[in-house]
Amino acid sequence: MPRSKLFTKPFDTHGVYPCPVCRVGKISHISLMEAMGCDFCHEIFTVNLEQQQIKMPSRQPPLIWRWNGFNWTEAQLEGVELGWGYGLAAITFVLLPTTLIGIVAYYFPPSPNDIVSWLPYIWTILTFLSHLSIIIWIFIEVYQIPVAAYLRAIANLRNHQGTSN
C-alpha cells in the first residue's frame, strides 16, 4: 500500500476539518442538521459523503470542494467551467488600455515646461492599477474569498502574539 494512502483521512460528517473558505476556522457537524459549519467565518456547508465533497449553498452558483484525504481541493463553481478564454480576456482588459495610454503618452509627450508634464505617466500607471483591481475584485467575488475573515485572523494572531510576549 502506498505510504500516502496510510495517512489519508476519509471525509465523514463527525470529523473536524479545516474550513476551505476562511482557512482559519474548523468545520464540524451541526447538531440536528445534515450540514457542517465553520466556527470562525460561520459558513454552512451541505455534505455529499459519496463524492467526498462539501457545497457552500449560500451563493449562486454554489462553490464545491472535494476532500482528497489531506485537505480540500480548489473551489469549483457548480456547473461553470472557466477556461483559458477568461484568463486571456482578463489580461487583455488590463494590458490593452494601459498600452494605448502609454503609447499616446510616449508619442505625444507634454512639453517639459508644463506644470503637469508628469500627468501622462501617472495616468498610465493609474490605468493599469485600476483595471487590475477590477479583475482582482471580480476574482474575489466569484470565488467568495473572505478578505475580512483573513484580516480578522491576522489581527487575532497579532493580539495573541502580543499578549504572550
Q: Could you report the per-residue pLDDT of 104-118, keeping only the tens digit for each? A: 999 998 888 889 888
Q: pTM score, two decimals?
A: 0.60
**Which pLDDT belongs to residue 161?**
76
Residues contacting residue 65 through CB under 8 Å, at least 6 positions apart: 20, 53, 54, 72, 73, 74, 75, 76
**Separation of first and last alpha carbons in the chain:** 46
**Which pLDDT belongs to residue 3?**
47
Whether the bond between 61 and the residue before it is cis, its omega within 30 degrees of 0, is yes
**Which pLDDT belongs to residue 1?**
43
**Which pLDDT belongs to residue 165?**
62
**Which pLDDT belongs to residue 141?**
75
Output the CA angle 148-23-67, nearest 5 degrees: 140
Distances (CA, A) of 119 to 69, 93, 100, 109, 152: 54, 22, 15, 10, 38
The rounded distance, in Å, linking the Cα atoms of 65 and 54 is 6
* Regions in the chain scoring below 50 on pLDDT: 1-3
